[in-house]
Structure 1
Amino acid sequence: MIGASSLFTVAVFAPLFGAIIAGLFGAGLFGPSIGDRGARAVSVGLMVLATVCGLGALSGALSQGSPTLAVPVSDWIQAGGFRAPWTLRFDMLSVEMVAMVTLVSTLIHIYSIGYMSHETNPVSRFFAYLSLFTFAMLMLVSSDNLIQLFFGWEGVGLASYLLIGYWYDRPSANAAAIKAFVVNRVADLFFMVGIALLFALFGTVSYDNIFALVPDHQAAMYHLFGTDMRAYEVIGVLLFIGAMGKSAQLFFHTWLPDAMEGPTPVSALIHAATMVTAGVFLLARMSPLIEFAPVTKDLVVLIGASTCFFAATVGLVQPDIKRTIAYSTCSQLGYMFMACGVGVYQAGMFHLTTHAFFKALLFLGAGSVIHALHDEQDMFKMGGLARKLPVTCAVMWIGSLALAGIPPFAGWWSKDAIIDATFIAGTGPGYYGWLLGSLTAFLTALYSGRLLFLVFHGKPRDAQLAEHAHESGPVILGPLVVLAIGAAFAGAAFAPWFIGGRQAGFWNGAIFTAPGNAVLASLEQVPVLITLVPTVLALLGAATSYYAYVAKPELPARLATQYGSLYRFLLNKWYFDELYDRIFVRPYEAIARLFWHVGEEDIAEGVPDGIGRLTSGGSMQLVRVQTGSIAVYAFTMLIGLVVLISTFLVFR
């Protein structure tokens, strides 16, 4: 087992060394420059090493029965009686995430070699950011305590800011990077309070110590807002709000579509296997606590289902190919949270894993299209590209079928398991999740088909653009083929281990299921008709997309005109950005201007300036008294003497 844990350690830290070497030596900041080519080679080479070690650690963990180990790194933080060591947690939840993150990230690194080949900005900086982002995510999923997790949590936030704003000469990219950073910081404030309350309640930040003490504090209460609330519910909600920010759930979702301003490999890395999945991982990791917070679980289902449906409706009308896929990410994350809300964390992790394959495939496939069309992203200017981009078209079909949940592709196995779980849970929020989850299955297939038919089929809408389209090179297509294999077969291959007969031995305590939670065990008991509902709706959605965009291509425009208000409502993303602008941004700007003009200019700068002017003016008046005339001085002294004697006589 020592060998597997050592491989695990190398997998976690290899991207860090890649980021340091590419960042510091790519441009020659410290010593001789290795240039962009050297930075690419080092970054990709160390990511390949990380993937080999990550998969080796996964194989070793499986052969040894999925044990739980602590791999010490350093003492890190010691302050009085508080101690937070830097320790890697080696259990199946961490090992599976490390293997998946390193594999997908490596494919994105390789893809970036071709995609960024014509970039004028320093590519060494881009690869350094990619590797740094990967390391931060690996630190998050391999953490053994909450402080270490928060370190990785903030690390991916910082790296996402750098990657989204990579094209810093574009105002839109800068605005998107700042928006992602600020929105996540708002959610992170709640997360920090949740961590602080956990430490106050349990006296430790170590996972093992917290989980061991959970049964002893179930009766703990907080008096908030004039009422008593269970401590676990308060902490659970705070942790969930933190997860909502990272995973772009409803109300905190506005940053994710704008993140498309970054290069396409960034979109794939953020949306597929790393940053946005951190919230789902957090709930799975904290399952021993969340399982004893039923109100929190119900809230998770409600938010997840609402996000699922909301994002799908917006994805129906987006003209931008990357934004359509971005909203599908929001929607699929809603499914994962629904699974956690009904206590089937294993199904949530299953969908997280299959989603990593087909979502990375879709983003990188979209990048291949954009690359072929000289950075054009409007789908209504495309069409008929299947003949020019046959490989890209084929893999995009595979990714879209997996996303839509069409059997036997990967998404069908994991997404339908979640929808079945919400039904078998038998709760009000569960039925709400089943209804919206099923409706979303129809919408997902509809907008997936819309993307395929608008981009690859029919007649070219811009003949000149289509004429110059060309298939990408092998360095771009290679990762797409590998991901397509995962999108096609990962569901059937992983189902027995994640949610099937082998799941108990596979997870081996890495995910906790409360004694009264029998949802996972009852998945096989879902009525056949209920099981078929999402699949039938997905097939109907695919058929509807064919009818609307191939058989009757004039239909969408006619419907958009006929139902103009609804179309504008969806196109403007339910007006969340406009609402937030009125509620938060404008008042904040008004307050900022008030502090600027009144607080800074009038008070902070005005008072010292006024005192200076008063002193200067007074001194100028005093100078006039110094005339050099003895008669004036004697007269002044006489006046002073008179004033002094008069004052003494009056007040004696």
Structure 2
Amino acid sequence: MSLLPLTIISPIIGFIILSFWGRNLKENTAATIGITSVGIAALATLFVGFNYMSHTPDAHMTLHLWTWMQAGSFNIPFSLTLDGLSLTMLSVVTGVGFLIHIYASYYMRGEEGYSRFFAYTNLFIASMVILVLAENMVVLYLGWEGVGLCSYLLIGFYFKNPANGAAAMKAFIVTRIGDVLLAFGLFMLYQAAGTLNMQELATIIPAKLEAGSPEITWATLMLLGGAVGKSAQLPLQTWLADAMAGPTPVSALIHAATMVTAGVYLIARNHVLFLHAPEVLHFVGIVGAVTLLLAGFAALVQTDIKRVLAYSTMSQIGYMFLALGVQAWDAAIFHLMTHAFFKALLFLASGSVILACHHEQNMLKMGGLRKKIPLVYLCFLVGGGALAALPLITAGFFSKDEILIGAHANGDNGLMIAGLFGALLTSIYTFRMIILTFHGEEKTEAHGLNGITHHLPLIILLILSTTVGAFIPQPLNHVLPDLKDANDAHLTIAIISSIVAIVGVLIAFALYQGERKLVNIIKASTFGKILSNLWFHAWGFDCLYHWLFVKPFLFIAKILHKDPLDKTVDSTTWLVRLANKGLTLTANGQTRWYTATMLIGAIVLLILLFWL
């Protein structure tokens, strides 16, 4: 436990050095600082994890550092907690983050702002570690906001392009909606329990509130709002695809392996609260199922290789939400871990494709790359196989299988069928991407890629995306509730999901290998054009939100730009000036005018007297 703070301190030191002196550092020096700081955090995690697993594998350990805030009875200590769940998340954040940093030192070479990039990523790692190790919801919220800030900075890294700045702003605003809802949830929980310590909440809330009561229902709904914002689930999913504007290592680090899974971690960490609100928990599963299907259809027609992976990330996190909703807690975290391996591999490999093709991202302009970059092709085959959950040989098969089994065990066969159909879509769009990129005729002149900083992270992630990654133990006993017994259906579901994955691969090859006549016929039809356009624009949510929220906001802003309130206040001054101008006209120095006004006044007074 004594080394645990090092997982935060080391990246923060790296961030400070790179922020203050980065401009004066050479690229090699900046990369060394950025990689070393995260490497020390990963090494500290290894030592802490080994010690934890050797001595107290089922314990919940707390390390108090200092009192952060205190006002009367309101006391927020800055304490770190270590159990099986936080250790699993910490290992993913620092381990996969370390590999991505190594790859980034190769990918970002020669880019403007090289040291700035590593400063941002170091701060991100520190914020994410705070999030997963927090004992208190307020400390978790600190890390939550920290990763949101870093996401904004990294998505808009190429800020000279206005489109990148717009994408960063969109991500910041959409996720901020979820963050505000999460803050409301914290207020509700504190009002109900008088504490925001997560262990105490898990004890006090079930004792004080009835299951399904309005208080716990609204509080968990607010937590879910925060989760869907950060994890890009319906209805706050629109930011993730545009977030691909950032450098590809950013996509691997933030939008595949770590930050977007924060919502999954939040719900799993507070599983006792959600179990006390069963309707909300079931709604979590429905949100995941709908999102995975919507994102799967959107991925089928994308032409940008990174956007395909972005929608696939949205879909796979949908699987994790589905698992949480059916109380397959271990399966959700298991898939979170394997997804970090194979999706980081796919994003980094896509970065290699983009570099090899001179920063071309359109798959329709690629093709025939398997001979030019064979290692990258192998990475796509293994990573794509894990994403499609090809049976027995990939890590994704084992984790996705556990989710489907959990849905069946919980009696949610509708969600299980949605998961199976989503698996079919995943196989089709994954191997469509591989076929368009690596098979057929070569349409863009590509060059090979070399270097240990390029090859090493890919090879390690490739190995972890196979069955090897599936057998990494997760110490989740006594942290998350056990899954209901489903041994009777385990083999049947495994066979069905295997058949679905293989059929999806065969469909992809039948549709996209060669001349693609059937696909062209469908795309040329009226119905095909409408459906393709709808899916390409992700079911039109951006357009819908633009009309519902953006346009009214801009209309109100246009009105307020003229400052009607200020004009209303100024009208008083205008009336006084008008009255003054009128009185000034009467004082013209003419005797006849004064005599006439006196006579008129006298006549008015006489009329009033006679009238009264």
Does the alignment reach a TM-score above 0.5? yes
Contact 1:361 1:395 in 2 (8 A): yes
CA shift, 1:529, in A, is: 2.4
Matched, 1:568 2:505: no
Q: Which residue of 2 aligns with 1:485?
A: 463
CA shift, 1:620, in A, is: 8.5
Letter in 2 for 1:415: K
CA shift, 1:595, in A, is: 1.9
Letter in 1 for 2:387: L
| 1:577 maps to which of 527, 531, 542 | 542
Give CA-to-partner distance per residue, 1:566-599, whole Å, 9 cap, x none: 22221221111111112111122112212223xx
Partners of 2:409 and 2:258 in 1: how far apart? 30
Q: Which residue of 1 aligns with 2:42?
A: 51
Letter in 2 for 1:507: L
Q: Which residue of 2 aligns with 1:414?
A: 399
Contact 2:405 2:490 in 1 (8 A): no
CA shift, 1:245, in A, is: 0.8
Aligned positions of 1:219-618 closer than 5 A: 219=210, 229-406=213-390, 407-426=392-411, 430-460=412-442, 462=443, 465-466=444-445, 468-494=446-472, 497-498=473-474, 506-511=475-480, 513=481, 518-519=483-484, 522-551=485-514, 553-562=516-525, 563-597=528-562, 600=563, 602-604=564-566, 606=567
Partners of 1:368 and 1:62 in 2: how far apart? 37
CA shift, 1:490, in A, is: 4.0
Q: Which residue of 2 aligns with 1:501?
A: none
Partners of 2:211 and 2:406 in 1: how far apart? 30
Q: Which residue of 1 aligns with 2:31?
A: 40
**Secondary structure of 2:544's aligned partner:** helix
**Secondary structure of 2:67's aligned partner:** strand
| 1:130 maps to which of 117, 121, 127 | 121
Letter in 2 for 1:553: R
Partners of 2:137 and 2:162 in 1: how far apart? 36
Contact 2:305 2:361 in 1 (8 A): yes
Partners of 1:142 and 1:171 in 2: how far apart? 36
CA shift, 1:215, in A, is: 3.0
Contact 1:272 1:356 in 2 (8 A): yes
Deviates more, 1:131-140 or 1:618-627: 618-627
Partners of 1:608 and 1:215 in 2: how far apart? 54
Letter in 1 for 2:420: S
Contact 1:354 1:490 in 2 (8 A): no
The 1:617–1:41 alpha-carbon spacing in structure 2 relative to 1, beyond 3 Å, is farther
Q: Which residue of 2 aligns with 1:226?
A: none
Letter in 1 for 2:555: A
CA shift, 1:472, in A, is: 4.3
CA shift, 1:618, in A, is: 8.2
Contact 1:443 1:541 in 2 (8 A): yes
The 1:335–1:378 alpha-carbon spacing in structure 2 relative to 1, beyond 3 Å, is same
**Secondary structure of 2:143's aligned partner:** helix
Partners of 2:400 and 2:529 in 1: how far apart? 32
Give CA-to-partner distance per residue, 1:281-318, whole Å, 9 cap, x none: 00110012112221111101111111111111111110
Partners of 1:447 and 1:518 in 2: how far apart? 31
Deviates more, 1:253-262 or 1:525-534: 525-534
Partners of 1:593 and 1:472 in 2: how far apart? 54
Deviates more, 1:358-367 or 1:306-315: 306-315
Give CA-to-partner distance per residue, 1:340-377, whole Å, 9 cap, x none: 11112111000000100100000010000001111100
CA shift, 1:266, in A, is: 0.9
Matched, 1:207 2:185: no
Letter in 2 for 1:150: Y
Letter in 2 for 1:14: S
Contact 2:37 2:122 in 1 (8 A): no
Partners of 2:488 and 2:111 in 1: how far apart? 54
Matched, 1:6 2:8: no
* Alignment: residue pair count: 607
Give CA-to-partner distance per residue, 1:460-513, whole Å, 9 cap, x none: 1x2xx22x432243322221111111111344322xx34xxxxxxx224332x2
Contact 1:146 1:207 in 2 (8 A): yes
Q: Give the gaps of 5 or more residues in structure 2.
A: none
**Secondary structure of 1:47's aligned partner:** helix
Contact 1:371 1:472 in 2 (8 A): no
**Secondary structure of 1:408's aligned partner:** coil
CA shift, 1:152, in A, is: 0.9
Letter in 1 for 2:405: D
CA shift, 1:614, in A, is: 7.1
Contact 1:312 1:443 in 2 (8 A): yes
Partners of 2:455 and 2:226 in 1: how far apart? 36
Letter in 2 for 1:544: I
**Secondary structure of 2:288's aligned partner:** helix
Contact 1:307 1:334 in 2 (8 A): yes
Contact 2:206 2:273 in 1 (8 A): no
Give CA-to-partner distance per residue, 1:58-106, whole Å, 9 cap, x none: 1111111222111112211111210011111121211221121011111
Q: Which residue of 1 aligns with 2:67?
A: 75
Q: Which residue of 2 aligns with 1:196?
A: 187
Contact 1:414 1:491 in 2 (8 A): no
The 1:527–1:131 alpha-carbon spacing in structure 2 relative to 1, beyond 3 Å, is closer
Contact 1:21 1:39 in 2 (8 A): no
**Secondary structure of 1:70's aligned partner:** strand
CA shift, 1:624, in A, is: 9.6
Matched, 1:177 2:162: no
Deviates more, 1:65-74 or 1:297-306: 65-74
Partners of 2:534 and 2:565 in 1: how far apart? 45
Partners of 1:433 and 1:424 in 2: how far apart? 11
Structure 1 length-normalised TM: 0.87
Partners of 2:541 and 2:244 in 1: how far apart? 18
Q: Give the gaps of 5 or more residues in structure 1.
A: 28-32, 222-228, 499-505
Letter in 1 for 2:25: I
CA shift, 1:436, in A, is: 0.8
CA shift, 1:35, in A, is: 4.8
The 1:650–1:113 alpha-carbon spacing in structure 2 relative to 1, beyond 3 Å, is farther
Partners of 1:440 and 1:617 in 2: how far apart? 72
**Secondary structure of 2:216's aligned partner:** helix
The 1:156–1:480 alpha-carbon spacing in structure 2 relative to 1, beyond 3 Å, is same
- Runs of 4 or more consecutive aligned structure 1 residues displaced over 4 Å after TM superposition: 607-627, 649-652
The 1:618–1:294 alpha-carbon spacing in structure 2 relative to 1, beyond 3 Å, is closer
CA shift, 1:134, in A, is: 1.2
